[in-house]
Amino acid sequence: MQKDHNQPHAEESLPDVLMRVVTELHDVAYLIERIEPQLMSDDGAGADRIMVLQGIDLAVQKARGLAEFIDTITASIPDTCLVDVTTAVSLVKLADMKKALGSGILRHGHSQPLTKAAGDFEAF
């Protein structure tokens, strides 16, 4: 019987699930980081703009910090520790994230690679 990679498995190794969360957190940090250059402009650096940029930088640092924290504690969890992610995955709204978290497959790369043509977007 083939695995359906679009549906979460009944029980899976907690470290495997957590590593998929780590990957998604790194992806969030990457996506936020890509916003920063778009907000830079030649028309000065007003206090509001600086606060927004500091907020973006903090969001990136927090996402990466959470990813590293989960990555580190995951190393000490035995593979025999199993969890059912079905309900948790069903609550995720973004289809790509739902697939990445529930598929049992660790995704490599980013959800929005730089190779996409300018102007390409996914309507939501």
Q: What is the mean pLDDT of residues 72-94?
A: 94
Tokens of 44: 């000065």
pLDDT of 85 over the 60 cut: yes
Confidence of residue 8 (pLDDT cuts 50, 70, 90): low
- Within 10 angstroms of residue 114's Cβ, the number of other Cβ atoms is 7
Whether pTM exceeds 0.85? no
Measured CA to CA, the distance from residue 28 to residue 6 in angstroms comes to 21
Q: Would you list the DSSP string of 24-63?
A: HHHHHHHHHHTTHHHH--SS---HHHHHHHHHHHHHHHHH
Domain ranges of the chain: 12-102
Q: What does the pLDDT read at residue 58?
A: 94
| Cβ–Cβ < 8 Å for 105, 24 | no
Greater confidence (78 vs 36) lies with 78
Q: Where are the alpha helices (DSSP H) in 42-115?
A: 47-74, 86-90, 95-102
Measured CA to CA, the distance from residue 95 to residue 101 in angstroms comes to 10
| pLDDT tens-digit readout, 90-121 | 999 998 889 888 877 666 665 555 555 445 54
Residue 47, burial from CB neighbour count under 10 angstroms (0-12, 13-18, 19+): exposed
